[in-house]
Amino acid sequence: MALKSTVFKAELNITDMDRGYYQSHALTIARHPSETDERMMLRLVAFAHHASDTLELTRGLSADDEPDVWQKDLTGAIEKWIELGLPDEKRIKKGCGRANEMWIYAYGGRVVDIWWDGIKNQLTRFEHLNVLSIPADTLTELTKMTERTMQIQCTIQDGQMWLSDANHNILVELTTLQSATV
């Protein structure tokens, strides 16, 4: 018998002073049995970083034809394709071909450096690709916030992101590996 996803609820209150975006999002996160707490919390970070009324968490690991997070316009065209992890060039090409913007949130500690060294020269042709990495210790801190029902405050100001709940206040440092050129 196949294992079922675990459902998490997150009330994410976003104060993004850099974009002038102030909104609360009630999110339901279906965590695939093979998904770690680190990856699930990174989905929340990516959502908070790009938050809008049309941004959606997808089925994640359960769907090969979808990214982890995406934003579509009213016609169904994909505006943002957001991947987590260390995707291969084929997956990156797919996302860049289908969306106006593609974002990768790379994680995995020192493995990120090895992946990036091996793939960065092949990615320069993708003009609307953004690649960010997050330190392993930051993800470890974020997992301390993981609960079946979460209330998280996200504050973004001057390029810095802070996530906090009743017991934690964590600076989320994202390192830019590649910025879109368009």
Q: 124 pLDDT band (50/70/90 cuts)?
A: confident
Sign of CA dihedral 28, 30, 143, 72: negative
Is the full-model pTM beyond 0.95?
no
Residues 74-95: what's their mean pLDDT? 94
Q: 30 pLDDT band (50/70/90 cuts)?
A: confident
Residue 15 has pLDDT above 90, yes or no: yes
State the first-to-last Cα distance of the chain, in angstroms, to the nearest integer.
Answer: 48
Instruction: Measure the CA–CA gap between 15 and 19, rounded to whole angstroms.
Output: 9
Q: 181 pLDDT band (50/70/90 cuts)?
A: confident
CATH of the domain spanning 6-178: 3.10.640.10
